[in-house]
Amino acid sequence: MRIRAIARPPASTATGHALRPDVFRQCMQRFCSGVALVTVARRRIWSGLAVSSLASVSANPPTVLVCVNRKASAHAALLASEAFAVNLLGEAHSGLVEDFSDPARRAARFRSPDWTVGQLGAPVLRTAAAVLECSLAEQVEWGTHTVLFGQVMEGWVGSADAPLVYGLGGVLRLVTPTGEAQNA
């Protein structure tokens, strides 16, 4: 995809009090991120979703935040449960991103035998690049989303494969400055 440089903002991107949501989304697509699967177990039912809103808040105490749309099927369980897991994905996991971001594929999400129960009870992915098991420390409602602060109680580093990178509306491939794939 070719990216056009815009010297100054077009005049029609504001609604009068805020940037238009579609323009905001286009802007944020220029900000590449990793992808994680946020998972939870509630009354023995597993649920989860793909997120790119993960951020590290503090190393002491170790804390992350994720922003979860209130319409996500896992939203109620995440708020009701005391624990959730953040499964950081590697390059090989793009199929899981599709499963965990498509409401039509909810039933397929935990079919892999790579899922197991973590120390705090939430589903964790054995093949993840890393796993953070969190207790829900705080929640803040903002717009369409709830910001969940998770205090990281357990965690481990997994596969050393290249991390999965998402940007420009799709999965990207990491390359070195010489143009070679990161893990080729």
Output the smallest distance, CB 166 to ligand FMN, in A.
4
Output the smallest distance, CB 50 to ligand FMN, in A.
4
- Structure tokens of 112? 């892999």
Residues that contact ligand FMN, how many (by CB under 6 A): 19
Q: Are 36 and 66 in contact (CB under 8 A)?
A: yes
Q: Which of 89, 105, 80 is nearest to 36 (CA)?
A: 89
User: Mask of contacts with ligand FMN, 65-94, x by CB under 6 A?
Assistant: --xxx--xxx--------------------
Question: Residue 53, interface with ligand FMN (CB under 6 A)?
Answer: yes
Q: Which of 100, 98, 91, 149 is nearest to 123 (CA)?
A: 100
Restricting to residues 127-156, which ones interact with ligand FMN according to CB under 6 A? Answer: none
Question: Residue 49, interface with ligand FMN (CB under 6 A)?
Answer: yes
Cis peptide before 61 (omega within 30 of 0): yes
Between CA 17 and CA 58 the distance in angstroms is 32
Tell me which residues touch ligand FMN (CB under 6 A).
35, 49-53, 67-69, 72-74, 97, 100-103, 106, 166
